[in-house]
Amino acid sequence: MNYLALRGLTSCSASFTNIKKMTDEIDKSLKKRGGRTPIPEELRRKHCVSVRLNDEELAWLNAHRKEHLQGEYLRMAALNKLPPIVPEINTTTYKNLAICASNLNQISKKINSNIDLNLSHILNAITELQDSILGLKK
């Protein structure tokens, strides 16, 4: 017995229609699989604009775009939506802040322990910490 006879199909035209229905069902089930959610038509970017730059302009663009792609940065610049420029952290200020944090942790550890406390020493340390944070004492 052949496959068509097993499936109860007797003619080629009937088998073609049934095969077509089965493949359509398979196609529909494959389309329901996961993946990227479609972007609404009004938000989809479908137009491409190319820009030519000389070496100096390209170097400037690469220096300012940071982690953004070149086209993404140019689009943000054209739409006046550039990310705010955050200055780099001063390393000496960062080191001083780390020292202050360490001192504060030591103070809190002494306060939370049951050791006999010298309150005037702790008050002086906290005042010194405040002054160093505010930049009053160098």
What pLDDT score was predicted for residue 33? Answer: 64
Residue-wise pLDDT for 52-92, tens only, equals: 999 999 999 999 988 899 999 999 999 999 887 766 667 67
- Would you list the domain boundaries of the chain? 1-35, 38-86, 91-134
Residue closest to 63 by CA, chosen among 81, 92, 85: 85
Within 10 angstroms of residue 94's Cβ, the number of other Cβ atoms is 10
Highest mean pLDDT among 4-8, 29-33, 35-39, 77-81: 77-81
Q: How far apart are the first and last CA of the chain?
A: 98
